[in-house]
Structure 1
Amino acid sequence: MPRFSVIVPAYRVQAYLHACLDSVLNQSFKDYEIIVVDDCSPDACGSIADEYAARDPRVGVVHLPRNEGLGPARNAGLSRAVGDYLLFLDGDDTFTPEALQTIADRLETTGGPDVLVYDYARAYWSGESVRNTFARCLTESGPASFRLADRPELLKVLMVVWNKAYRREFVEAEGFTFPPGYYEDTPWTYPVLMSAGSIAVLDAVCVAYRQRRRGNILSTTTRRHFDVFDQYDRVFAFIDARPELAVWRPVMFRRMLDHFSTLFTSRGRLPRGTRAQFFRRARAHCARHRSAGAAVPRRARLRHALFRLGAHRTYRALWAGQRACRGVRRAATAARRAVRAAALQLHYRLQLCLPLRPAEAVFAAYWNRGYTCSPAALEATARALVPGLRTAWICRPEDAHTVPGATRVLHPGTAAYWTALARSRYLVNNVNFDRRLVKRRGQIMVQTHHGTPLKTMGTDLVHRPAAAGTMDFGQLLRNIDKWDFSLSANQHSTLVWERTYPSRYTTLEYGSPRNDVFHRTRPEEIARLRARLAVPEGSTALLYAPTHRDYRRGPHHPLDLEQFVRVLGPRFVVLVRSHYLDTAPRATAGRAPHPQIIDVGDHPSVEELCLASDALVTDYSSLMFDYVNLDRPVVLFLEDRQAYEAARGTYFDLEAFPPGAVSRSQEELHEIFATDHWRGPRSAQRRAAFRARFCPYDDGHAAERVVRRVFLGDTSGLPLPVSSGGRRPSGVPRQVTVREYTNG
């Protein structure tokens, strides 16, 4: 008897069925059976299911002789199921990685409830993933299991069958089956939740709910949407047969009216000319099932009253008026924005006519994110070394807390922002400023860049459309022409920047200011950083920081983190840092927290994460060039090198000259750590050679050299770089020593 029976109805989903079944078979948890029900699908669903069944004995197939619909197809799967728990998965949806293990663990910790409700995310064709709006209802605080009366807010979560695990003995004892017709989930989910003796929740995304552009049954225009009336009749018949459930009658009445209203106002569902009939049916159901005591939110009272009265024309008129008002509000908002933008640009043009302020400097980084990278190092150093200098930092409101108190905060798109850009003498950024910025005579612009280039950059992307995307190269060149200084960490960077960003700026090959902190942070400060990140004392912390993939629209997470930490053992923790361009959910988002996986994607300083870690696992990220300053191990995970090289390209062969051990698959990565090769003598030799080539000036004084040259005009008294042999990187955490790294 398997732990899970996964029932997959399949009808016209041949394009998605492979992904659906693979998402089950690729789970690390293996104690399950899959029952695919071919609902007499006219496409290749049946043959696809048979192919999987021939390859894997856990896959069984039921071929229905005629098309029955989703409910009867699920019933056919139910009759074959023998697992402890029943899970349903539509043929065009998928389980997330580790979903079954997460569900199994939660069932164990909650004592085997009748029903476990877990979360889902809507998955769009573009790669975008949006978590359930009511995820807050699935918080795991409070009792491990409960009755629906203890947490009625669960009814706000989408009432579908596939976001729950059901104890099979409970389902069979209650005699639950699916009815025919549309909205077959309704008379299943409500009765199941109302009658369950114990319910538990799992605050983790376990199902990717595919949002198909066309072909979704419930978005088709058909009279079968009238089936909703029969389905609610079944719900109320269930309540009437069980007097102890009478308390739920007002709640179901309100839910029914909300459902009717959604169908009535949804475009493309009810055929033309049937709305009046739908409304009459809805009114009849209101009269039949009306219940006193239904608590209706104020915003829904008028809507419910019109349904009960059968005021079809009034409802439609109000609905049309509401839509018109929304359109007017949108137009008014757009007009206000246009007027404000024009006023701000007029303000900026006026400010350009006023004198420059020679003692003011504006800094920004990463398209107006928080206080970070080389601009932050230069801002702090300039404030300390330049008498009378007033500094400002451009950032989004949500990042303002990262800016030091002595530094003025500027929010993008405000009058103060445009004033600062127009009148400040110094402008410092690691990307380009707003394209509308007019470079004035006397202004000094410093481009710090954000790392040593491994991947192709600038004008080298002209012939790489997958990486360049919609880049405007003409605008790029106009932006470059505004630079006065370009910072470089090494000769490699200098040669790349001057070729790919061609203009008349002056290159300052002084080292990377953002790396100064690696040579100045004391061991006790590192210990405090680790404590703030909740790194257990005595453990080895690996920073996993993959870079962005231009050839993919969504984030790329090739490393199975749960499997990785299982192989590493309890002494390790992994700090997961997704790339800032990957705005979709991160590698750990939506999953149950793992004690050895710490999501640090929102931490404002990657430099602090480097200091707090014992080793770096990355791929093509420029972070490796900074990290070797710490003289701590670097491990490369290059599982998609061919694809990355084809789409983006690199300036040198990273496998031929790496900063440490190299893996090309997760199995090789496991072996590197299992054999201690990650910190062996060969890795130390590679790291030393890499550091000597790419970090010749990183000695803790790069920011000072830049500030003295740019802000103070000092070209003679600059501090000379310390030779690599005389440098001492910041102290490594207690449990791993420099000697261990060097000697393996």
Structure 2
Amino acid sequence: MTLLSIVLPAYRVQGYLRECLDSILDQGFGDVELIAVDDRSPDHCGEILDEYAARDARVRVLHLAQNVGLGEARNVGLAQATGEYVWFVDTDDTLTPGSLETVARALHQQAPDVLIVDFKRTYPIGRPRRSRLRRSFAAAVGPNGADLQARPNLIKTIHTVWNKIVRRDLLAKLDLRFAPGWYEDVSWTYPLLVGAERIFTLEEVCYAYRQRRQGAITRTVNPRHLEVFSHWERAWELIDRQGGRADPIRPVLFARMIWHLMQTVGNTERLPPNLRRHSFLRTADMFARYLPAGGFAPPRGADGLRYRLVARRAWRSYAALQAVRRAQRSLRGALDSGLRERAGSGSRPGLLARAYYRLQRSLPLDENLAGYAAYWYREVSCNPAAVEQAARRLAPHVRGMWMIGRDAAGTVPAGTVHVVEGTRAYYRLLARAKYLVNNVNFPDFVRKRPGQVHLQTHHGTPVKAMGLDEQRFPAGERHNFAALLRRSDRWDFSVSANAHSTEVWERAYPCAFESLETGSPRNDRLARAGAAESAAARAALGVPEDETVVLYMPTSRPEPLTLPPFDPAALAAALGPRGRVLVRGRLVPGADSPDPHVQDVSGYPVVEDLYLASDILVSDYSSVIFDFAVLDRPIVLYVPDWAQYRAARGASLDVLEHAPGPVAGTFAELVSLLAEDRANASSERRAAFRDRFCAWEDGHAAERVVRRVFLGEQVTPPRPVPPR
């Protein structure tokens, strides 16, 4: 018999699912089965689970025909479990390294009914914090464990199921299943703890519980929080079926119930105002209904006062007390916000500019005005430019206007309507435009108005760590991640070029935007291009038709890393007399070579022309590999510093595992690859790369964005693009 069955229900967790699966499967522990339940998730969870199952025999995937909710999804997984023990893990959390061996050792040595493990809380920003369970774990336990009568403080541990490993036979004996609805853990955990005779605790931190900014029910205002009452009623019903086992600890259970209900009633983050009095009175009803026969002594302090107010059904006094506590929290929040404002004042506009911006924000929005920006106001390009071009055709009633920095004002294409950063027209556009479109974030001083729509297009498929993921790497030490989240909270829509991008954006920027799975608008031109467009691009660059052109386009490196050795003249010589090397990128060694077969195109304004003019791309961890792959032409990765780059900058993708072509670890290998005409040797890998990352690039990505954002239409990801 397998020792441990891990049950993983998955619903709308695509940004975290891979991390969860890796935390389990990469531990190398064999005596485990992982039963993943796709609860009819509308995102890519099902595909991710199938991908892991295809390469790991320990994984079984159950795809449900309809969404049934977390509790019933767990029941479905439990019904398929064969392990001696079962562990219900939430798919947005992770197991800590080595935890499976630690748990297995405890299960073998102690043979518990229930093993409770310690955990840590992880946050969007900042270091994890270990739980306070050690206080409950401190009591001595004999070789046969203990039940709740011996250790009643265990009732005060968190009621979630994910830090409890349970003997499967005990669940069958207690006929314990999850009930539907929110707070389903309540009506499972407490009957389980009452029924268990051998409870052991493990002080090692085995579980990392993610405190999410989005998606957590505890941060959702919804009448469904009232379902907590039904689950407590069910918990008492199941406990009473066990006879008198709970009698000695009934006062502790009762106190825990009232404490838990008070976390919900009157909570402005959970219940709408019209239900708070109702929930308080239901709590008072529960108090009277389940009050132990011997009475109940409330604790001292503020909590004790709240217990007494509930017992007296004193709603007005209770509401007043809660209002005082909220006011205290609000004051602390206001003080913190003021400190943040002063900390960021160095990048804010001047006093007159701020006043003018505030004045303009008090005036009506222009419902038919869109403001566009790209790369910190440096140019008119990338996805915003493609969206604007499509909007001219599909939504001509929406006027487009670009925001350009003072230094870049002279490079704006002729006929482009624009405003210059820092002018009155600039602040007026930010304040009055209905739509604001950017491939990076707008400055901190920008305040999103009610009715404004922010479209974040991004600027490529991510290989490097982005957003909050950067916190784990040295390159992220200089970032203000709290400010990053405030900027990203303005997004209404986030464009995704592929499923990988969607996963990364939702994890790295945990905000309430809608993911637009459209493909990359800037690649529409590449997807539609043919021989004529390539010939025109070569002509614009002065490249003869019969030359073999290699484009070298590396990504930048964080300090202290530098670009790897590169000799474009030697590479051009390896191509033969009809070879040419185009070099794009600041600080590329040898870019200024006098060799007539080397051409520095770092200042060339239209990067798509460079792709179309090239036969082969040499790059590394840059998003250009995803763009160039749309053309289905050979790509070579030159990655001598992969280990160092990954350690310093981080990566959201193992670029070597998914390489679209040959990989060169030294410059000599790169020269050899091109000299021997082996750049196209991995066409199967390129096809797999295109299937994974370019499946939506059909030339209509910008159109889909415009239809959803400007016209309000519903759009779906396109079907996979057939081979070129």
Q: Does 1:721 find its partner at 2:718?
A: yes
Find out whether 1:575 has 2:576 as its counterpart. no
Q: What residue ranges of structure 2 are gaps of 5+ in the alignment? A: 1-345
- 1:527 corresponds, among 532, 535, 552, to 535
Contact 1:481 1:504 in 2 (8 A): yes
Partner residue in 1 for 2:660: 659
8 Å contact kept, 2:635–2:661:
yes
CA distance in 2, matches of 1:669, 1:339: 47
Contact 1:526–1:612, Cα closer than 8 Å, also in 2: yes
* 8 Å CA contact retained: 1:371, 1:604: no
The residue correspondences of 1:699-714 to structure 2 (distance < 5 A) are 699-714=698-713
- Give 1:569 shift: 2.3
Correspondence for 2:621 = 620
Displacement of 1:720:
6.5
Given residue 721 of structure 1, which amino acid in structure 2 is its aligned partner?
A: P
Q: Count matched residues.
A: 379
> CA shift at 1:697, angstroms?
0.9
Corresponding position: 1:650 with 2:651:
yes
Maintained 8 Å contact 2:636/2:662: yes
* Alpha-carbon distance in structure 1 between the residues aligned to 2:656 and 2:527: 28
1:359-374 equivalent positions in 2, closer than 5 A: 359-374=368-383
Q: Do the aligned partners of 1:435 and 1:479 also contact (CA within 8 Å) in 2?
A: yes
Return the alpha-carbon distance in structure 2 between the equivalents of residues 530 and 616 of structure 1. 15
- 1:437 pairs with 446, 450, 456, which one? 446
1:446 aligns with 2:451: no
Partner of 2:519, secondary structure, is coil
In structure 2, the partner of 1:343 is 352
Cα distance, 1:359 vs structure 2: 0.5
**What RMSD over aligned residues (CA atoms) do the two structures have, in Å?**
2.1
Match for residue 684 of structure 2?
685
Cα separation, 2, equivalents of 1:628 and 1:371: 23
What is residue 323 of structure 1 aligned with on the other side?
A: none
Question: Could you say what secondary structure the match of 2:658 adopts?
Answer: coil
Change (3 A) 1:474 1:602: same
Q: 2:467 aligns with which of 450, 458, 472?
A: 458
Match of 2:214 in 1: none
Q: What residue in structure 1 maps to residue 183 of structure 2?
A: none
Match for residue 470 of structure 1?
478
Q: How far apart in 1 are the matches of 2:406 and 2:537?
A: 25
* Alignment partner of 1:504 out of 512, 525, 528: 512
Deviations 1:271-308 (A, max 9, x none): xxxxxxxxxxxxxxxxxxxxxxxxxxxxxxxxxxxxxx
Aligned to 1:679, the other structure's residue is in SS state coil
Q: Measured at CA, do residues 430 and 643 of structure 1 come closer, stay the same or move farther in structure 2, by a change above 3 Å?
A: same
Residue in 1 aligned with 2:77?
none
Aligned ranges for residues 24-39 of structure 1 at < 5 Å?
none
Task: Provide closer, same or farther for how the CA distance between residues 340 and 400 of structure 1 changes in structure 2, counting only shifts above 3 A.
Answer: closer
Contact 2:469–2:508 at 8 Å: present in 1 too? Answer: yes
Where in structure 2 are the equivalents of 1:598-613 lying within 5 Å? 598-613=599-614
Paired residues for 1:308-457 under 5 Å: 341-397=350-406, 399-400=408-409, 403-457=412-466
Query: 555-564 or 662-671: which moved more?
Result: 555-564
8 Å Cα contact 2:454-2:490 kept in structure 1: yes
Please show how residues 221-370 of structure 1 align to structure 2 within 5 Å.
Answer: 341-370=350-379
Query: What per-residue deviation string (whole Å, max 9, x for no partner) do you get for residues 647-687 of structure 1?
Result: 1122232222210110000111111112211023xx11111
* Cα distance change on mapping 1:599 and 1:487 into 2, 3 Å: same
Q: What is the DSSP-based 3-state SS (H/G/I as helix, E as strand, rest coil) of the residue aligned with 2:637?
A: strand
| Distance in 2, Cα, partners of 1:700 & 1:661 | 27
State the Cα distance separating 1:353 from its structure 2 match: 0.9
Give the match for residue 544 of structure 1: 552
Find the residue that maps to 2:350 and give its secondary structure.
helix
Residues 184-223 of structure 1 correspond to what in structure 2 (within 5 A)? Answer: none
Q: For residues 445 and 601 of structure 1, what CA distance do their matches in structure 2 show?
A: 31
Counting only pairs closer than 5 Å after superposition, residues 134-213 of structure 1 correspond to structure 2 as: none
Whether the 8 Å contact between 2:573 and 2:579 is mirrored in structure 1 is no
Q: Is the 8 A contact 1:393 1:403 kept in 2?
A: no
Q: Any conservation in 1 of the 2:471–2:477 contact (CA below 8 Å)?
A: no
State the match for 1:634 in structure 2: 635
Q: Secondary structure at the match of 2:400?
A: strand
Rounded Cα–Cα distance in structure 2 between residues aligned with 1:610 and 1:475: 36
Q: Distance in 2 between matches of 1:721 and 1:402?
A: 35
Q: Distance in 1 between matches of 2:347 and 2:626?
A: 44
CA distance in 2, matches of 1:399, 1:679: 39
Corresponding residue number in structure 2 for 1:189: none
Offset from partner CA, 1:469-511 (integer Å, 9 cap, x none): 4211111000011000011111111111101100111111111
- Tell me the alpha carbon deviations over residues 584-638 of structure 1, each in whole angstroms, 9 at most, x when there is no partner: x55446x452201111111112222111111100011011011111000000001
Kept after mapping to 1: 8 A contact 2:548/2:575: no
Residue identity over aligned pairs, in percent, reads 48
Aligned counterparts of 1:445 and 1:349: Cα–Cα separation in 2: 18
CA contact (8 A) 1:701 1:719 kept: no
Deviation at 1:407, TM superposition (A): 3.4
Structure 2 residue matching 1:413: 3-state secondary structure: coil
- Please give the TM-score of this superposition, normalised by the length of structure 1: 0.49
Is the contact made by 2:571 and 2:581 (CA closer than 8 Å) also made in structure 1?
A: no
Superposed CA deviations along residues 709-728 of structure 1, whole A, max 9, x for unmatched, are: 0000011xx48625322x64
1:377 to partner: Cα distance: 0.3
> How far did residue 402 of structure 1 move?
5.5
| Alpha-carbon distance in structure 1 between the residues aligned to 2:593 and 2:616 | 25
SS in structure 2 at match of 1:392: strand
Deviation at 1:404, TM superposition (A): 4.9
CA distance in 1, matches of 2:656, 2:533: 34
**Equivalent AA in structure 1 for residue 650 of structure 2:** G
The answer (yes or no) to whether the contact 1:391–1:407 under 8 Å persists in 2 is no
C-alpha separation in 2, matches of 1:495 and 1:693: 13
Name the amino acid aligned to 1:534.
Answer: G
> Residue in 1 aligned with 2:565?
558
Compared CA separation, residues 592 and 563, structure 1 to 2 (3 A) = closer
1:91-170 to structure 2, matched below 5 A, reads: none
Tell me, in whole angstroms, the C-alpha distance in 2 between the residues paired with 1:622 and 1:656: 16
Q: Which moved more, 1:705-714 or 1:641-650?
A: 641-650
Distance 1:710 1:661 in 2: 39
CA contact 2:373–2:380 (8 Å) conserved in 1: yes
Contact 1:365 1:373 in 2 (8 A): yes
Worse overlay, 375-384 or 516-525: 516-525
Hey, what does 2:500 align to over in structure 1? 492
The CA deviation at 1:339 is: 12
Sort the Cα spacing of 1:531 and 1:557 in 2 relative to 1 into closer, same or farther, 3 A. Answer: farther
Tell me which stretches of 4 or more aligned residues in structure 1 moved more than 6 Å. 337-340
Whole-angstrom CA distance in 1 between matches of 2:363 and 2:603 = 40
SS in 2 for 1:644: helix
1:587–1:342 distance in 2 versus 1, CA, 3 Å:
farther
* CA displacement, residues 427-452 of structure 1 (integer Å, 9 cap, x when unaligned): 01110011110100000001111111
Cα pair 2:564 2:641 within 8 Å, conserved = no
Letter aligned with residue 697 of structure 1: W
The DSSP-based 3-state class of the residue aligned with 1:652 is: coil
Deviation track 1:449-475 (CA, whole Å, cap 9, x = no partner) reads 11111111110111212x124211111
